[in-house]
Amino acid sequence: MKIFIVIAAYNESKKIGSVLNDLKKKYKNIIVVDDGSEDNTYEIAKKKKVYALKHAVNRGQGAALKTGMDFALNKKADLIVTFDADGQFLVEEIKDVIKPIKKNKADVVLGSRFLGKTINMPLSKKIVLKLGIFVVFVLYGIKITDSQSGFRAISKKAAEKIKITSDRMEHAGDFFWEIMRNKLKYKEVPITVIYDKYSLKKGQKWTRSIILGIKMLWRRFKT
């Protein structure tokens, strides 16, 4: 089975090198999409001898993931894993995230920090994510425990059907919409998410998460 890891990266020069070093110990097909970074994220990725793609301008995480997933499908990927560039996730847990797809028990696997473990997660973040669970159920009828996990596994069949139309963070809603629309089998698995000073500084603020929820509502009821 040909597994591709897709990483959307924006100004991640402080972390991307170590993340890629860890990934390369176990996986050879790694795609970094530099989303118009102003630092040397792209150059570091190139030196690590992974597939390094670059957007000329910053378009957003959704657009970067779409670029990476399309590239992976063109390279005949059987399974695609989306993975963050900031070191929040553990490489050793990829095997657990892809297992349901390898066993034909799911088309999409969603990592859940609430089934697994969080380290140093702010209370405000936890509250917003819990509210997101309710929003996802109301909008899409999908029962999940983590509404904004970027750690996912997607089968080739699902990747060919999932259409990411939101360039920025609203792409999280696109995944749930496509799961519902295409009647894809989905499963959650426990993951660990680590919040350090770096990820907390770069991460999405709770106010942005509220705006994201409003945008998801607007897009859903426009459709």
Domain count, the chain: 1
Provide the pLDDT for residue 197. Answer: 82
Per-residue pLDDT band for 187 (boundaries 50, 70, 90) equals very high
Q: How far apart (Å, rounded) are the C-alpha atoms in residues 42 and 47? A: 9
**Side chain identity at residue 97, one-letter code:** V
Tell me: pLDDT of 209 over 60: no
Provide the pLDDT for residue 84. Answer: 95
What is the sign of the dihedral through the CA atoms of 209, 211, 217 and 218? negative
Asked if 79 and 3 touch (Cβ cutoff 8 Å), the reply is: yes
Provide the pLDDT for residue 203. Answer: 59
DSSP 204: P
Secondary structure element (H or E) that encloses residue 203, with its range: none
**DSSP calls for 112-127:** EEEEEEEES--HHHHH
Give the percent of the chain with pLDDT over 70. Answer: 89
Average pLDDT, whole number, for the chain? Answer: 90
Asked if 62 and 148 touch (Cβ cutoff 8 Å), the reply is: no
Name the residue range of residue 217's domain.
Answer: 3-222
- Summarised one tens digit per residue, pLDDT across range 80-129 is 999 999 999 999 999 999 999 999 999 999 999 999 999 999 898 888 88
**Side chain identity at residue 67, one-letter code:** T
Tell me: pLDDT of 174 over 60: yes
Provide the pLDDT for residue 98. Answer: 98
Find the CATH number of the domain harbouring 123.
Answer: 3.90.550.10
Q: What is the pTM of this model?
A: 0.89
Tell me: pLDDT of 221 over 80: no
